[in-house]
Amino acid sequence: MLQNYRKIMVAVDGSSEAELAFQKAMNVAMRNDAELLLAHVIDTRAFQSVSSFDGVLAEQATEMAKQTLEGYKEQAKEQGCERVSSVIEYGSPKPLIAKQLPQDHDVDLIMLGATGLNAVERLLIGSVSEYVIRNAACDVLVVRTDLDNKIPVQQDDE
């Protein structure tokens, strides 16, 4: 008997890496007849140092996240992905994506884009994908390629 995933969570943040993960997650969800959960985490640590603006910034971040998720949901439904839901959480992305959201939503596969960090940034702050791989209780698929399984060409070489 083939093993099917029932609920696939894809972490989206508006980056090109997350876009690739979303595209592949739609396909995997449809092949498995699974529900697709679109997850966006607003990192509240970014607002802590700007106390006078944190309320406004948090509201703007939430509004942008809602618009982003709605766009992804519409795109998924247009592609034939019937069961799509979304969630916005606030806090540190690493434990939320690796542990809390999968537990709360009964997720059995997490899909996320490969990090955009360079070696020094990974050393200093660590990548979300690296943390999720090490700490998630369910399967994790890190997307590095496009739908043709080709490594995407970087637009800006830094």
- Cα(first)–Cα(last) distance of the chain, in Å? 47
Element (H, E) at 32: helix 16-32
Indicate whether 152 belongs to any domain. no
Tell me how far the alpha carbon of residue 36 is from its chain's centroid. 11
The pTM (predicted TM-score) of the whole model is 0.85
Q: Which CATH number covers residue 73?
A: 3.40.50.620
3-state SS string over 90-111?
ECCHHHHHHHHHHHHHCCCEEE
Q: Which amino acid is at 139?
A: D
Instruction: Please check whether residue 73 lies inside any domain of the structure.
Output: yes
82-100 pLDDT, tens per residue?
999 999 999 999 999 999 9
Cβ atoms of 75 and 18 within 8 Å: the answer is no
154 domain-assigned: no
**Residue 87 corresponds to which tokens in the numbers above?**
């969630």
Beta bridge partners of 90: 42
Question: In this structure, is residue 1 part of a structural domain?
Answer: no
Predicted pLDDT at 157: 45
Q: Could you list the beta-strand ranges (E) of the chain.
A: 7-11, 35-42, 84-90, 109-113, 139-143
With respect to residue 71, please indicate whether it lies within any of the assigned structural domains.
Answer: yes
What is the number of alpha carbons within 13 Å of residue 85 lying toward its C-beta? 11
- Residue 80 belongs to domain spanning: 7-143
Count how many domains the chain has. Answer: 1
- pLDDT tens digits, 110-152: 999 886 555 555 555 567 888 999 999 999 998 988 888 888 7
